[in-house]
């Protein structure tokens, strides 16, 4: 028996930290980001969809118009440890050795007191299993590093390329998964810029 399931991925709307070019943190949305939350809701208004977010302000605000959402800490942005809430220039200046280490192997690099992309892959794997076995279509609103990893579950991507996947703000990725007897037979993907 052939079945079809759709999974949508998107980053949160533009946040205050996006403007300041700071990583991590728990900032809120800008006016532009708040507008994206309305546009996103309107796009799905007549669709039966299960919405997943991280626990952070910016994803919860992006999902604010949906009637029911599920927040998971597993979908939180990469833990940048001692570099949290800093710009890359500040990191380069304060922690030059860490900055160099990260540039050599971005996938396996782990921030001091933080995480690597490999850590993200391990923490999101159970959520992905839940999403892929769910009968409903899903919308996942989370963060750039996490979305790069989630994207790689659908479209085979080498580990060294995952940290460089382009996941722009205010863009919706759609994955249509065709299953036959519960085995994935085909995955098609599209990209929509909503703003």
Collapse the DSSP code of 134 into the 3-class scheme (helix H, G, I; strand E, B; otherwise coil) and give the result.
Answer: coil
Q: What is the pTM of this model?
A: 0.94
For 20-55, letters b (16+ CB in 10 Å) and e give eebbbbebbbbeebeebbeebbeebeeeeebbbbbe
Spot the catalytic one: 14, 74, 77, 98.
Answer: 77
- Is 67 one of the annotated active-site residues of the chain? no
Our answer to whether residue 159 is catalytic in this structure is no
The DSSP output letter for 45 is: T
pLDDT tens-digit readout, 100-138? 999 999 999 999 999 999 999 999 999 999 998 888 999
Q: Distance between CA atoms of 115 and 179, rounded to whole angstroms?
A: 33
Annotated catalytic residue 58: yes
User: Which is catalytic among the residues 58, 102, 123, 170?
Assistant: 58
- Does 55 participate in catalysis according to the annotation? no
Tokens 């890359």 belong to which residue?
Answer: 88
Q: Which domains does the chain have, with CATH numbers?
A: 2-79+116-193 (3.40.50.1240)
Is 183 a residue of the active site? no
CA distance 163 to 77: 13
pLDDT at 36: 98
Share of the chain above pLDDT 70, in %: 100
CB 121 within 8 A of CB 127: no
The answer to whether 11 is a known catalytic residue is yes
Please tell me the predicted confidence (pLDDT) of residue 34.
Answer: 98
**Residue tagged active-site, from 12, 102, 123, 170:** 12
């Amino acid at each position: 028996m052939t079945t079809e399931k759709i999974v949508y991925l998107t980053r949160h709307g533009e946040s205050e930290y996006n403007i300041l070019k700071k990583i991590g943190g728990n900032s809120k949305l800008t006016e532009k980001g708040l507008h994206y939350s309305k546009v996103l809701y309107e796009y799905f208004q007549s669709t039966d969809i299960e919405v997943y977010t991280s626990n952070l302000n910016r994803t919860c605000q992006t999902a604010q118009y949906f009637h029911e959402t599920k927040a998971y800490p597993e979908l939180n942005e990469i833990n940048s440890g001692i570099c949290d809430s800093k710009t890359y220039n500040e990191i380069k200046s304060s922690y030059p050795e860490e900055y160099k280490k990260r540039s050599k192997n971005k996938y396996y690099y782990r921030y001091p007191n933080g995480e690597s992309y490999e850590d993200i892959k391990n923490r999101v794997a159970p959520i992905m299993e839940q999403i892929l076995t769910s009968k409903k279509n899903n919308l996942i609103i989370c963060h750039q590093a996490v979305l790069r990893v989630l994207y790689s579950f659908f479209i085979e991507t080498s580990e060294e390329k995952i940290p460089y996947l382009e996941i722009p703000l205010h863009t919706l990725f759609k994955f249509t998964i065709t299953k036959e007897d519960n085995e994935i037979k085909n995955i098609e993907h599209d990209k929509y810029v909503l703003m």
